[in-house]
Amino acid sequence: MKTFYSPVHLDHDPKVQFEGGHLLPAVEIPVRAEKVRVALQSRRIGPIVPPTPFADDTILAVHDPELVNLLAEAWDEWVKRYGKSAPVAIPSAWPAHNMPDSHKGDIEARLGRYAFSCDAPIASGTWAAAREAVNVALSAAAAIKDGEKSAFALTRPPGHHAAFDVFGGFCYLNNAAIAAEWLVKAGIKPAILDVDYHHGNGTQSIFYKRADVFFCSIHADPNFAYPHYIGFADERGEGDGEGYNLNLPLPNGTDWTRYEEALKFAIGAIKHMGPDVVIVSLGLDTYFEDPIAGFRLKAADYQRMGAALADLHKPVLFVMEGGYCFDALGELVVNVLESFQGA
- Catalytic residue positions, numbered: 161
Q: Give the C-alpha separation, 60 to 63, whole Å.
A: 5
Query: Would you say 2 and 152 are in contact if contact means Cβ atoms under 8 Å apart?
Result: yes
3 state SS of 335: helix
Quickly count: other Cβ atoms within 10 Å of residue 264's Cβ: 12
Q: Give the C-alpha separation, 330 to 203, whole Å.
A: 25
Strands 190-194, 150-153: pairing kind: unpaired
Q: Is 276 exposed, middle or buried (0-12, 13-18, 19+ CB in 10 A)?
A: middle
286-304 burial by CB neighbour count: b if 16+ within 10 A, else e?
bbbebebbbbbbeeebbbb
Q: Give the C-alpha separation, 159 to 206, whole Å.
A: 12
